[in-house]
Structure 1
Amino acid sequence: MLVVSEEVREALAAHRPVVALESTIIAHGLPRPRNLQVALELETAVRQEGAVPATIAVLDGEPRVGLDKEQLERVANEDAMRKLGHRDLPLAVATGASGATTVSATALLAARAGVRVFATGGLGGVHREWTLTQDESADLGLLARTRITVVCAGVKSILDVPATLQRLETLGVAVAGYATARFPGFYLSDSGHPVDWTLESPDEVSAVMRAQDALDGPESALIVANPVPEAEQLDPELHARVLADALHACEAEGVTGQAVTPFLLDYLVRHTDGASLSANLAAVRGNVRLAGRIAAAWAGA
């Protein structure tokens, strides 16, 4: 049922580095035609680090690990492209639907295909006012039971960052800052919260991955939190002001449930004149390049 492209399949068989990439950013995260341009740019960045890109999506009911240019164009341009979390995968497969994969669905399919390293922008997490809404991203539970290394810029800063870190600890998901003792905040280099562990090189990350396997513990993920460079982050004062306004607008307009995150992210893009989107892309580019280097270290271990 899982369709792995020939290039990805051959790379895995030869123990060459492979990096999984999600497709939600292509279908739902960026305007056309920039979304396709960014998708191709990210795949190129993976190749420049000596790894094979494996963008993941579901097309006509087939989960695919590794897309060709025509398939990337479909994800970027089809209006009916759904947004699929891991819970949606059986439904999409059974009904022949097409959809872009979120972090949770991408991580699951990548791990099933044997891809160990995954690059994304920011993770989902515990939402603000969780005690009232009980709203928590499916990313966290999936990562607690999936052996994959996720290179990300922390969690989205619109979320409850300290609660998310606590939840990851409770779930037993390892978190390490990459060359930093601070947990990044997606658009921001520093969320204001520390991390317990810092890894300084791709070889150190690879060593942790080997130790995970050697210890044969729970099949949980390793999160490598890679901050966006300070020169490319969203201005912290602007971020704080616009996010506060966005939260007030969200409450005033009665936005609830799954609609909250896209509302807040869209508000940030519009009221920072696109600066939040620029910071987002800077973070993704950095994560993709680092993931390529980690995959290379892992393949050479």
Structure 2
Amino acid sequence: MTGFFAVSEAVAQALAERRPVVALETTLVTHGLPAPEGVEAALELEREVASRGAVPATIGVLDGKLRVGLERADLERLAAGGGGGAGPTELRGGPPGGAGPAPAIARTAVASERRAAKLSLGNLAAVLASGEPGSTTVAATLFAAARVGIQVFATGGIGGVHRGASETGDVSTDLVALARFPVAVVCAGAKAVLDLEKTVEMLETLGVPVLGHGTDEFPAFYRRSSGLPVDRRYDVLRDLAVAVRAHFALGLGTGVVIGNPIPAEHEMPLELYEGSLATALADARRLGVRGREVTPYLLERLRELTASGSVFSNRALLVHNARVAAGLATAIAEGAP
């Protein structure tokens, strides 16, 4: 590894002893949840992983280092540097009803002032070189996890093919990272705002297996099913671990997506989900929100439209994914030669 990495003592020792470790991202701290819920959620995920016998490794960028294994103070620094989740007025230039679009440049400037950088593969090196703080997306977390030897990563949902991508070309770098870095990602499918059918098709094209934990269908983030089949269903974590180990042992070079549906009691009602999503997507198109701002804008808009119901579901699926990831990491470690 280069001098850009800083691995905490707890994570380094666990990896050296081949104990289970679960990577966690930090975009939820700066972009995914409103302040101060981002830091609280990150700490909750760490506790969930630790309670299941695995070592949490939350990843972010501070002081010119890609840090694997952040402390609470580090998370608070990231949140403070970014000002937490962006507010509705700043992003839309108006009240929740959205009287009119704000200039894209103005929205971007406000977001940049209030947030730590949202790091993917394309801007990671530049931010590291600058010494500025940054939170890791799925793609950047996959990269860091693979480089230090972490095999399992828990997140809310992966990025994928955006709606209207045939016109815009907007496809998340998360898919590129999944095709390059051999890490198993436990998630509630892809983020709700994406084109799920095209995302699953792209994963197949890239040679990334999609395995279901207790499901025959690719999860739809806030909803348990999408109607899209997974490659194979596993109801026992030990059996899933065998499949993941086999994939890595073959040297295929790609990651593995583990679809883990949101618990039924936390699933968002279908009517609320579909209506709120349609409104959020229409607002984003009207305002010309693009690039890295699309997902955080839509998630924030969904939070407003669902009276924070999306945050309730989001927290629940994050914890559930962390729980399953810890169990998977443990099963992989126990079966390792």
Task: Quickly name the TM-score band, shorter chain normalised.
Answer: over 0.9
Corresponding position of 2:175: 140
Residue 247 (structure 2) aligned to one of 212, 216, 235:
212
Q: Higher strand share goes to which structure?
A: 1
Q: Secondary structure at the match of 2:254?
A: coil
Deviates more, 1:7-16 or 1:240-249: 240-249
After TM superposition, the structure 1 = structure 2 runs for residues 143-154 of structure 1, keeping only pairs within 5 Å, are 143-154=178-189
Q: Give the TM-score normalised by structure 2.
A: 0.86
Q: Distance in 2 between matches of 1:42 and 1:93?
A: 25
1:148/1:264 Cα in 2 relative to 1: closer, same or farther (>3 Å)?
A: same
Q: Secondary structure at the match of 1:180?
A: coil
Q: Distance in 1 between matches of 2:317 and 2:134?
A: 24
After TM superposition, the structure 1 = structure 2 runs for residues 49-60 of structure 1, keeping only pairs within 5 Å, are 49-60=52-63
Corresponding position of 1:18: 21
Q: Could you list the per-position Cα deviations for residues 136-161 of structure 1 after superposition, in whole angstroms to 9, with x for gaps in the alignment?
A: 00000111010000000000121100
Q: Secondary structure at the match of 1:183?
A: coil
Q: Is the 8 A contact 1:187 1:233 kept in 2?
A: yes
Q: Does 1:104 align with 2:139?
A: yes
Q: CA deviation at 1:220?
A: 0.2
Q: Give the TM-score normalised by structure 1.
A: 0.96
Q: Which amino acid letter does the alignment assign opposite residue 43 of structure 1?
A: E
Q: RMSD value over aligned CA atoms?
A: 1.3
Corresponding position of 2:317: 283
Deviates more, 1:62-71 or 1:161-170: 62-71
1:72/1:254 Cα in 2 relative to 1: closer, same or farther (>3 Å)?
A: closer
Unaligned stretches of 5+ residues in structure 2: 83-114
Residue 235 (structure 2) aligned to one of 200, 224, 229:
200
Q: Which amino acid letter does the alignment assign opposite residue 126 of structure 2?
A: L
Corresponding position of 1:165: 200
Q: Distance in 2 between matches of 1:72 and 1:254?
A: 31
Q: Secondary structure at the match of 1:191?
A: coil
1:149/1:135 Cα in 2 relative to 1: closer, same or farther (>3 Å)?
A: same
Q: Could you list the per-position Cα deviations for residues 16-68 of structure 1 after superposition, in whole angstroms to 9, with x for gaps in the alignment?
A: 11000001101222222222221111110000000000000011110011012
Q: Distance in 2 between matches of 1:150 and 1:70?
A: 26
Q: Distance in 2 between matches of 1:289 and 1:63?
A: 25
Matched length: 300
Q: Distance in 1 between matches of 2:289 and 2:245?
A: 44
> Percent identity at matched positions?
46
Q: Is the 8 A contact 2:32 2:296 kept in 1?
A: no
Residue 256 (structure 2) aligned to one of 207, 222, 229:
222
Unaligned stretches of 5+ residues in structure 1: none
Residue 182 (structure 1) aligned to one of 210, 217, 220:
217
